[in-house]
Amino acid sequence: MKKNLAKDTIMAITDSNIVSHDGAQEIKLVTHLGYSLDSIDNDGKLFSSHHYESVNGSTLDKSFEDVLLDKSRNKEPEYYNYYVKNFLTDITMNFSTASTIVNDKSSLKSSINDLIKEIKETTSKGASVNFDNLKTKFTVNGVDFTFKELSDASRVFSNAKSILKNPGSTLVYRDYAEMGLVKSKVSSYVQKNLNKEQGDLLKSSMSTKIANVIKGQNEALYNLQGIKIYVNSNNKYYKFQNVAVATNVDYANKIMDVFANIDTNDQNALKSACNQYKSIMTPVYTEYGIYNTANNSALTEILNDDKDTLMNMADENFKIRTLSISEVRAYIKSRENIIDTIR
């Protein structure tokens, strides 16, 4: 995923659907453009799902609420099933486990049908539809939500999750600050918007994802042994260089804890945490050879850049967005059909 594993693959997939016309059959090709998402649950089990960006060249850019409203008015939305699949993927890749994802998808799909019925009943009485007031139950991983509660919680969770590196990535100390901030973002949202059972699901799901990122870092460091090895044409080692990564676990956890227990809506608390971070990181950056001189203020600049980034990340709507295929192509002026993205 840039999502929860080391890699997301953006790909074009072609399916063959058999379509009948007056007794005759023909094969209709449907091309999907999207990416595969992987996640690891608390038991270390891998599970996957697929998110669709476009179908037959049509971008799936409608809000799911608008799609549901069209469906309730008996206006069959184009590629409705793919919007449903995307909703199921978004929810289950955030909150399901390898053992619950199949049942969760089935339950959620049934709830979508029930929600459409509730929307129809509401409009049949002459009332306007407000998703905040709809009562249809959606259950994921054994926890009940309304549609609005689940959609909003998943959006906030996805935004926070987008900040995390993938398992297997090499982490620097600021990544630990970001992970602490992600914990606080979820906790701050939970405290104001969800009940205990719902909140526990969000917090435990995020804790699992963060634990997998850190576990992947530890495995990467074990293989790396803390050095980069440069090899010449004769395959002889000739240069070693220290890797500037978060190898001091106690120090990394201290940085994460600075941000893990604050209210991200409290600007004073956030600024205080950022100032603590700057104090902690000053000797680290100095050790890496970054310091102020009479001619430049490199240390001050990098500390302030870290602080500004962390302050911005605290916003509930902050999200690191993966570029679509078309955006990537436009950026690099390439026409390749398959592009692998790795964070």
Each residue's pLDDT tens digit in the chain (343 positions)? 343 333 333 444 444 444 444 555 555 556 778 888 999 998 999 999 999 999 988 999 999 999 999 999 988 899 999 999 999 999 999 999 999 999 999 999 999 999 999 999 999 999 999 999 999 999 999 999 999 999 999 999 999 999 999 888 888 899 999 999 999 999 999 999 999 999 999 999 999 999 999 987 765 554 444 444 333 344 333 333 344 578 788 889 999 999 998 999 999 999 999 999 999 999 888 887 888 988 889 999 999 999 999 999 999 899 887 665 556 556 555 544 444 443 3
pLDDT computed for residue 33 by the predictor: 81
CB-CB contact of 123 with 72 (8 Å): yes
pLDDT computed for residue 329 by the predictor: 59
pLDDT computed for residue 287 by the predictor: 82
pLDDT computed for residue 24 by the predictor: 53
pLDDT computed for residue 251 by the predictor: 87
What's phi and psi for 294, nearest 5 deg?
Answer: -65, -25
Q: For the whole model, what pTM was predicted? A: 0.81
Dihedral angle of Cα 201, 207, 208, 214, to the nearest 10 degrees: 170
pLDDT computed for residue 343 by the predictor: 35
Q: How many residues does the chain have?
A: 343
